A = this chain, B = another copy of it.
């Protein structure tokens, strides 16, 4: 019982024939203005809602309201609220562009994939708060497959390949999670609170207080540096063996 990819019963031959005759006379054809509410529409609206109002505001009722239906209806297309989140999350991963596998250097491709991965999550900060679930959607799997494949061309295989791919994935995920968490809406207030907290205890956390709050604002640079370290290590291992 997959998704009912049912086509709205709108595009009948009758309609098309009339349109062929005289497009302008055709009544707006009351295009069943709410196309019968597909799983796709639900997920799309869920993502919009999450982007605009955040995870806490995602409610079956609110979601239904935005879709112009009753909340009960959602449960025909989806079994639980978690389903909605699973689908929305995988949709976010779908935004990650797969690098054109033409580049001869695996490192270039892997870097591009990881950066895109991170960017997608940061475009939808709520996604990082929702990662504690098995990631088995088709879009994640496709990206993971790409990562594995590209590392395979670097000469890795078996458990080592698996471990290195996981290491990269875990690094992006952890980084995005920490950044999205540390960068709430009221960034200014949060930062000031953190700084004050640290300064007040600068005796206990001297190094921390000196460097500033745990994480600065040069998120991109910091991430890139860590990724380079990791990839340096990986590359060094690609040679041997």
Give the B-binding residues of A (Cβ under 8 A).
128-129, 131-136, 138, 141-142, 144-145, 148-149, 152, 157-167, 169-175, 177-178, 180-182, 184, 190, 194, 197-198, 201, 204-208, 211-212, 214-216, 218, 221-223, 225-234, 236-237
Whether B214 and A166, one on each chain, are in contact in the complex, defined by CB atoms closer than 8 angstroms, is: yes
Instruction: List the B side residues contacting A157 at CB < 8 Å.
Output: 211
Whether B163 and A226, one on each chain, are in contact in the complex, defined by CB atoms closer than 8 angstroms, is: yes
Instruction: List the B side residues contacting A173 at CB < 8 Å.
Output: 174, 177-178
A215 to chain B, nearest CB (A): 5
Whole-angstrom distance between the alpha carbons of A216 and B161 in the complex?
11
Whole-angstrom distance between the alpha carbons of A138 and B205 in the complex?
10
Which residue of B138, B162, B233 contacts A211 across the interface (Cβ within 8 Å)? B162
- With known contacts A131-B177, A136-B197, A216-B162, A167–B229 Cβ distance under 8 A: yes
**Could you list some 28 contacts between A and B, CB below 8 A?**
A141-B198, A142-B204, A142-B205, A145-B206, A148-B207, A149-B207, A157-B211, A159-B222, A160-B225, A162-B212, A163-B222, A164-B229, A166-B222, A166-B226, A167-B171, A167-B175, A167-B226, A170-B175, A170-B178, A171-B174, A171-B226, A174-B177, A226-B230, A229-B230, A229-B233, A229-B234, A229-B237, A232-B236
Whole-angstrom distance between the alpha carbons of A207 and B156 in the complex?
11
